[in-house]
Structure 1
């Protein structure tokens, strides 16, 4: 992703906020898991969307004053001794190259307070004032620790009670929901690597003694391609596949069982999320095939149904109707209202920087969104769990299956496994 993309995104924020306002975003903090070791750092994705920077404790400030645009970036200064232990931090020049923010607009974090005071002090002494401060305040209390935005909001309320604090989180969701072509391309690249990794597991089906083996064959391809998992692998055989977020991935694999793989990876922070289910023996049993083909039919029909203007509720209702009819044919239920015994999740979600990318479900699908379509059936008493998940680009009058090259037809799967 080039710096122009991130510059354009900052200008989108400028267009969203009111005049005489500041918008502040923080990359996040590292958190300790033991006395001297930290968890792998995951950048705040709203911050990344605006800068492309993946370093902890970086701040971007967007200014809209008298309808004029300004911006600042604040980074930690390099510590040459610490750099010997954990590597060097971005220089001003490197941060500028990534983000597109001019070097002269990049300061060290020690300068943050004074520069902010330059904007805030006129609240007391001038008729031309900053009236609003936009902060990225997520509604759910997800972090175990206070975020930079929460701490800063408390301080501003104490020091500048006349300043109105606004939450820009919903506006960021609306911006991120619609993907630019370069974002779609990164998702597609993640899908290509995920395909290769899934196929590596399938090619080695004869060597699969446990789910750990399958996870190893999958992970090897990601590592070889310099990619990371975008979420914890779900690699479930037999009855384990009826648990939606099964992540132990350590059970023995029975030779006649199905193996469900719900997996994905990142390319420059953009995620894929693919599910495929295949018979470890190389051939579906009669019953496995019957269940699989019901799910496959729903998968394909829901993809065809998805387009701009359709709501999530409509797709969910359509999927449930089709799955209920299928369960009746399979002899699993007698009434459609009983479907929840075998299907207990929604049909999909938005996809992007987060594997479950934020979206406003009530707005319906819009052109440029990337979503998943992932129907499934989970029959614990028969040890059968099937889910088929594709990644879909929403267009004005149709949808495009970005993962259509990953085989899912029964004949194609069995032919592949026979080679």
Structure 2
């Protein structure tokens, strides 16, 4: 991956002008309670440029007098703390991961900025993580450098990240594959009367077996009427015979995510009404996938789906006007996917080759106790799209046959 990180830095260098300096921070794990912290996850822009996944590190790149400079800042080793939490990353380790040769201690970062000040015109800071800036920069930082123009780095790196490189796509394929295995384990083991969290536990077990320490997001395992709540995460209800259960789940591999949704009957058999609604959603997903290609505006996909839903829901008597579709479908049909589950990128832009998006139509019919979402992850290609999760079963017949086999 070191060449991937070098390539990313070169892309940013090509955008920066002479006199520009960009600053990024790794961040720090938030405190859970007392001296207990959450699992650390690096700031994604920092990671995209360096590959470093350690807390309290920083990175500076600059163009001064036509020359390119890049410096990585790491924490000094602390022998006492190393006994408790392990050693800080060493210079040699940081070089091996990032390919950055100039590695210094983080305490020297502001002296180094001062030393380059005479050749600086613009200072780029990552505007998405203002908390990092406040925690790392001394009071009066802007006053200290008031002669400089401050710019937001976040939209620049976002534009780079929205087009995925082959290394990123490969990691996402792995994350999607593991997500599929986990959801299939839930299907195999689901039985009416189980608690939602019991079904979820089979997913967690598969992820742990496959080396996944951090999920892309909190798993949704929503049975019956709970499936009509878009981001239901309690997962503490008892499933009933005849319930559908909506699963929305994602594994994370080296900070790249999968994001899949499947809906299946806990007893292994769809009712006629459930099958009717399910096939409407599945038809909508196929329509959207067939519509994906470069130059199509992302909002247009949602409009295509809403028009399709209007016609289908009109047939079964659920709506009489287009506006009534919102009662049963109230989210967008997809989002960017990558190093974040809801990855960076303006959602009103046109699709381009190399983007990865989710396709996740759903219908949520509270009065019927039916919530259905079917979600796959697709790569925009030159003339259409590739379904990265194509190996995952999703038709009524496939699901029923799979569940009939059992464990």
TM, length-normalised to structure 2: 0.96
The match for 1:130 is: 120
Match of 1:407 among 393, 397, 407: 393
Question: 1:64-83 residue pairs with structure 2 within 5 A?
Answer: 64-83=63-82
Query: Which residue of structure 2 lines up, in the alignment, with residue 215 of structure 1?
Result: 200
Contact 2:192 2:241 in 1 (8 A): no
The CA distance in 2 between the partners of 1:154 and 1:368, in whole Å, is 41
The count of residues paired between Structure 1 and Structure 2 equals: 404
Spell out, residue by residue over 1:167-219, the C-alpha distance to the aligned partner (whole angstroms, 9 max, x if none): 11111110000000111111110010011101111111237611011110010
Q: Which runs of 5+ in 2 are unaligned?
A: none
CA distance in structure 1 between the partners assigned to 2:202 and 2:252 by the alignment: 17
Match of 1:164 in 2: 149
Q: Is the 8 A contact 1:201 1:217 kept in 2?
A: yes
Q: Does 1:178 align with 2:175?
A: no
What's 1:323 paired with?
309
Bigger Cα displacement from structure 2, 358-367 vs 218-227: 358-367
Contact 1:295 1:388 in 2 (8 A): yes
Q: Partner of 1:362: helix, strand, or coil?
A: coil
Distance 1:153 1:362, change over 3 A: farther
SS state at 2:191 partner: helix
SS in 2 for 1:206: coil
Aligned structure 1 segments of 4 or more residues deviating by more than 3 angstroms: 149-156
Residue aligned with 1:72, SS: strand
Q: Please report the TM-score for the alignment, with normalisation by the length of structure 1.
A: 0.94
Counterpart of 2:106 (choices 85, 109, 115) is: 109
Aligned counterparts of 1:78 and 1:385: Cα–Cα separation in 2:
52
Number of the residue aligned with 2:239 = 253
Inter-partner Cα distance in structure 2 for 1:85 and 1:355: 32
- Give the deviation of 1:376 after TM superposition: 0.4
Instruction: Find the aligned partners of 1:296 and 1:247 in 2 and give their Cα distance.
Output: 24
**In structure 2, distance between residues paired with 1:150 and 1:362:** 33
Partners of 2:2 and 2:51 within 8 A in 1: yes
SS in 2 for 1:147: helix
| Root-mean-square deviation over aligned CA pairs | 1.5
**Alignment-derived partner of residue 47 in structure 1:** 46
Q: Contact between 1:7 and 1:100, CA under 8 Å: does it hold in 2?
A: yes
Return the alpha-carbon distance in structure 2 between the equivalents of residues 316 and 239 of structure 1: 24
Q: CA, structure 1 residues 49+55, in 2 after alignment: closer, same or farther (shift >3 Å)?
A: same
**Structure 1's 82 and 248: CA in aligned 2 closer, same or farther, altered over 3 A?**
same
Structure 1 gaps of 5+ residues are: 123-128
> What's the offset of the Cα at 1:331?
1.8
Secondary structure of the corresponding residue to residue 259 of structure 1: strand
Contact 1:258 1:277 in 2 (8 A): yes
Cα separation, partners in 2 of 1:368 and 1:154, compared to 1, 3 Å: farther
